[in-house]
Structure 1
Amino acid sequence: MKGYLNFETGGRGVGGTGLSATIAVIMTGNAMGWPSPTHPLLLSPNSPIPGMTTDDTSWMISLMYFGNLFSPIPCGYIMELIGRKYTLLSLNVIPLTSWLLIIFTRTTTWLYLARFLAGLWLGIVYTVVPIYLGEIAEPRVRGSLSTFFAIMTYVGVLFEYVFGPYVSYNSLAGASGFFCILFYLTFTFMPETPYYLVKMKKIEKAREALFWLRGDNPDVDVELKNIENAVAQQMANKGTLKDLFATRGNRKAVVTVGVLSILQRLSGIGAMIAYTSVTLPKGAIHHVSTHQCVIVLGTVWVVSTLISSFLVDKLGRKILLIASAIGCALATFLAGLWFLLDAKTDIDVSSLNWTPFACFLLHGFFYSIGLNPIVTTIKGEVFSASIKGVASAVTSLMLAVASFFLNKSYQIFADEIGMYANYWLYASGCTIAVVFTMTYVIETKGKTLQEIQDKLNGIETPLKNRETIVSKL
C-alpha cells in the first residue's frame, strides 16, 4: 500500500496519528447529525423539552453554526501559541459540556447553549485539524490523509442516524459524548506536527515526531532539513491579519480556501444533514421509513468519501472538485424542480415522490467525492507557515457565516417562497464552484508544501528539482 496510508505497528505512523486526530471530527459529525433523528421527537407531544415549535428547532439547529462564528479567530492564535495538539486536547472540554447539558437540562435555553458550545467546537476543529493533517503527511499521501476529515465527519453523522431513532434521547447524547473521552485517551499519545516544532525551534522534538510518523526512514533528516528551510523561508512575515494579503501567494491561498469554503456550504450539505428527515415526502420509498432513507443517505456519504480517498492523490484535486460541483448542481436543480412542480403547479407528482430522495443520493455521492474532502485537503496545503493560524481561522469564520445563514434561512425560504428556492440556490452555488475551480484553483497533487507556496507566488519549480525533492520525501 505504498503511496496510500500506512498504519504501522502500535498505532505509530501517519495513518494511526491521523485516525486519532479525526476522532475530533467524528464529534463534529455527531453534533451535525444529532438534530435529524431528534427533530421529530422534540416536536412531538412526548418531547423531552415540552413546548418546542418549528421556529425553536430552527434556532436549535442554526445556533451550532452561530457558535461556530466565535471560535476560529481566537483558536487560530491559540494553536500558534501552544500547538495544534494541545489546542485540541485542552478545548475538548467544550463538546463534552455540550452533551452533558443535553442530558441534564430540559429547557430550550439550555439546549440553545449546548448547541452554541457544539458550534464552538466545530470552529475549533475546522481551524486546527486540517492544518494538523496537512503538516504530518508526506506529499504522496497528503490528499488521502486529509479525506479522513470528511470520512470521519460522515461517520459521526451516520452514528446519529443509525442509533438516534432507536435509543432514548439521553442514551444518544451519552453515546455521542463518549467520543470526547475516546479522543482524549488516544490523541494524548500522538505527536505535535514537525512543522510547528521546527517553527518553535524544537528541532530534536521535530526529529522525534518525524520518526514517529515515518518509522525508521533513513531520509527523516533530509525531510527535517527541508522543513527547516521551508519554515525559515515562509516565516519572513509575522502572521498578522495584514500579512494575509502581504504577498501574492498569501492572497491567492486565502481567496481559494475562503471562496471554496463558502461554495462548499452553498452546495446545500448542511441543510441536507439537519433537515432531511423532515424534508423528504412521506412514503418517498415504499416500505422504507424516512429514518431508513436517512441512514441510506449517510452510508452513501461515507462510502463515496472512501472512494475519493483512493482517487484524490491519483486524479488530482481540481478534476474531482469540478466533477463534484457539476454533479451537485444537477442533483439540486432536479430536486428544486420537483418541489416547484409539487407546490406551485397542478401537476400531480405523487407518483414521483422518490425523486427528492434520489436527488439527495446523487448529491451525496458527488459532494463526497470532491467538495467535502478536497476543500479540507486544500486548506491544509496552501497556507504558508507564517499565516497558518490566522488564515485557517479567517477561512473557518467565512465557512461559519455561510453555514449559519444557509441553515437558518432554510425554513424561512421554504415557508415564504417554497422549498424549491433552497435547492435552486444550491444549484447556483455549485455552478459558481465549477467556474471558480476551473479558472482560479491551482493543482496541489504530489507537491511539497514549499512547492505549493512557489506555485501560489508564480514561481515555477524546475521539474528535475521537484522530482528530486518528492523522491526524497
Structure 2
Amino acid sequence: MGFFNRSYVYQILATNTASISLLIAGCWIAWPSVMIKRLSDENPDLENIGIRLNKYQVSWMVSLLDLGNAISPIFAGILVEKIGRKSALLLNALLCMPTWFLVISKQIPCLYIARFFIGISKGVAYTAMPIFIGEISEHNIRGTLGSIPSGFQMVGTLAILLVGNHVSYNSLNIALSLLPVIFFLLFMMVPETPHFYAAKNNLKRTEKSLKWYRGKKKDVAEEMKSIVEKTQEDLKSKSGYLELLTNESNRRAFTLVMAASLFQRLGGITSMITYSSTLLPKLDNAYFGPDQCILVFMVIMFLSNFLQAPLMDILGRKPLSCFSAALGCLLTFSTGLFYLYQTELSNYQYIPYVTTLLYAGSYYGIGCLPNILVSELFPINVRCQASSCASVALAFGSFVTTKFHILITKSLGQHVIFFIYSSVHLCSVVFNYFYLMETKQKTLAEIQEKLNKRTRNKK
C-alpha cells in the first residue's frame, strides 16, 4: 500500500500536528546563528538590544538549551507515562509560551533562563514524540512517519535563517511567541494514543482512538485485540529505568538507541548549524558567504529528509544509516584536511562550503534513526523510560559539541574538531554494521519477538 493510502490520512495529520512542537525547537536551535553577531561584544549594538555577550557568555547562551534538554527527559518520561503522550505535549506548549518574552527583557540572566527552559521543553517533546508516533502508526509507514518530526525541526531552523537577518530582534521574538499557541489549539483536537488507553484498561477509549487513526470504515477489532493483549502482557513485567538494564532484550535495545543518539549528536550536527555562519571562511564572491551557506544547508537537509523518508521503509534502517554515517565520516575528514592546510589552499576557500552542503544531504540516515528506534524497540512498560534516556543522550551530545566546538577551534584550530567529528562517524559506521538490528516492515510485536529470540539464542 502506498504512503498516501486513505486509511493513513489521520495518522499523517496527527504526526504533522504533533511535530509543530519540534518546529518550535528548530527555531530556537537556529536562533543563535542569526543573533550571535547582534549580541556579541565584538560588534556594535546597532539595534539598541541592550545585551552584549563575550565569547564565554555566547557559549553558555548557546549550550544552555542543550543542558536543559539533558535534564528534562527523566521527569518527562514520568509525565508521558502518567498523564499521556498528548497531555504531555500540550503541557509542554504552555512551558514554551513565556520564553520568547524573556528574550526581549534585555537582561542576560533572562536570556539564559529562556534558553534553559526551551531546552526543558525540547526534552519533553523529544521524549513524547517517538512514543506518540510509534503508537499511532501502522507498521508499513512507521519509519516514514518517524522521520517527519525531524523535518519540522528543520523547517523551524530554516525559517529563522531565512527571515532572522531581515527583521528586528524584538519583532522576530514576538512573532515566534505565537507558535506555541498555534500548536496548543491544533493539537487539542488530536486523540490520545490507543496504547495509552489500553495501558489504563479503558477499552472504550482504546477502540475510539484506534478507529480515529485508522479511519472509521476500517475494521480494527483484530488490531485492538493485539494491542490490548500485548499491552497488558508487557505491563505484567517490571517497569522503571533499572528494567532497561536488567532485562537482556531491553538492554540490547537500550544499547542500540543510546549508541545511535550519541553518535548522531557527537558527530557535530548541532554545532555546525549553530556556528557555521561565523566560522566558515569568507569568499571573494559577494553573493554567497557563511550566512547563505547555512541557509542552503538547511534547505538541503529539509529536502533530503522528505525525499529520503520512504527509503527507511524500503531499504531499511541498517543500510541507510551505515551509508549516511560513512559519507559523514568522509566529508568531515575532508573539511578537517582543508582547515589543516588552509594556508596552502587559500585559493580553494569554497572547499568547506562544498563539504558542509554535501554533509547536509548525507545526514538523513543517522538523523532520524534514534527516534525511529525508540518508537520500535521497547515494550510499553519501559517505552517512556527508554525515550527519556535517548533524549538525555541526544541533549548531552549537543551540549558537549556546542559548548566545546568554539573553544576547541579557538585554541587548537578548526581541523581538530572536524577530525573528532569524523572519528565519531567512523565509530557509528562500525557499530551500525555489526550491531544494529533491522526492523523495517515489522509490527511492534514482531520486533519484540525478534529481540527476545536473539536473547535466547545468545544464551
How do 1:307-456 residues align onto structure 2 when only pairs under 5 Å count? Answer: 307-342=307-342, 346-347=343-344, 349-368=345-364, 370-456=365-451
In structure 2, give the amino acid aligned to 1:70: I
Distance in 2 between residues matched to 1:304 and 1:53, nearest whole Å: 36
Task: Report the CA distance between 1:99 and its aligned residue.
Answer: 1.0
Q: Say whether 1:30 aligns with 2:27.
A: yes
Partner of 2:15: 18
Match of 1:189, SS? coil
In structure 2, give the amino acid aligned to 1:42: L
CA contact (8 A) 2:85 2:128 kept: yes
Percent of pairs with identical residues:
33
Distance in 2 between residues matched to 1:107 and 1:21, nearest whole Å: 32
Give the gaps of 5 or more residues in structure 2.
none
In structure 2, give the amino acid aligned to 1:453: Q
Task: Report the CA distance between 1:438 and its aligned residue.
Answer: 0.8
Partner of 2:305: 305
Please give the root-mean-square deviation of Cα atoms over the aligned residues, in Å. Answer: 1.7
CA contact (8 A) 1:5 1:14 kept: no
Distance in 1 between residues matched to 2:284 and 2:117, nearest whole Å: 35
Match of 1:92, SS? helix
In structure 1, give the amino acid aligned to 2:421: Y
How do 1:24-63 residues align onto structure 2 when only pairs under 5 Å count? Answer: 24-43=21-40, 44-46=43-45, 48-63=49-64
Distance in 2 between residues matched to 1:282 and 1:6, nearest whole Å: 48
Distance in 2 between residues matched to 1:377 and 1:6, nearest whole Å: 21
Match of 2:453, SS? coil
Task: Report the CA distance between 1:381 and its aligned residue.
Answer: 0.9
Q: What TM-score comes out, normalization by structure 2 length?
A: 0.95
Distance in 1 between residues matched to 2:129 and 2:346, nearest whole Å: 44
Match of 1:239, SS? coil
Task: Encode CA deviations 1:22-47: one digit per residue, 9 max, x unaligned.
Answer: 00010110110111011111122116
How do 1:109-258 residues align onto structure 2 when only pairs under 5 Å count? Answer: 109-258=109-258
Task: Report the CA distance between 1:407 and its aligned residue.
Answer: 1.0
CA contact (8 A) 1:339 1:420 kept: yes
Task: Encode CA deviations 1:366-418: one digit per residue, 9 max, x unaligned.
Answer: 112x0111221111111111001111112211222222111101011111211
The 1:208–1:285 alpha-carbon spacing in structure 2 relative to 1, beyond 3 Å, is farther
CA contact (8 A) 2:250 2:378 kept: yes
In structure 1, give the amino acid aligned to 2:326: I
Distance in 2 between residues matched to 1:190 and 1:285, nearest whole Å: 49
Task: Report the CA distance between 1:329 and its aligned residue.
Answer: 0.6
CA contact (8 A) 1:165 1:291 kept: no
The 1:130–1:5 alpha-carbon spacing in structure 2 relative to 1, beyond 3 Å, is farther
Distance in 2 between residues matched to 1:242 and 1:204, nearest whole Å: 32
The 1:117–1:393 alpha-carbon spacing in structure 2 relative to 1, beyond 3 Å, is same
Task: Report the CA distance between 1:232 and its aligned residue.
Answer: 2.2
CA contact (8 A) 2:70 2:123 kept: yes
CA contact (8 A) 2:143 2:310 kept: no
- Structure 1 runs of 4+ with >4 Å offset: 5-9
The 1:247–1:285 alpha-carbon spacing in structure 2 relative to 1, beyond 3 Å, is farther
Task: Report the CA distance between 1:238 and its aligned residue.
Answer: 2.8
Match of 2:380, SS? coil
Distance in 2 between residues matched to 1:100 and 1:6, nearest whole Å: 42
Give the gaps of 5 or more residues in structure 1.
461-473
Partner of 2:100: 99
Task: Report the CA distance between 1:218 and its aligned residue.
Answer: 3.4
Task: Encode CA deviations 1:150-183: one digit per residue, 9 max, x unaligned.
Answer: 1111011001100101111112112222211111
The 1:337–1:175 alpha-carbon spacing in structure 2 relative to 1, beyond 3 Å, is same
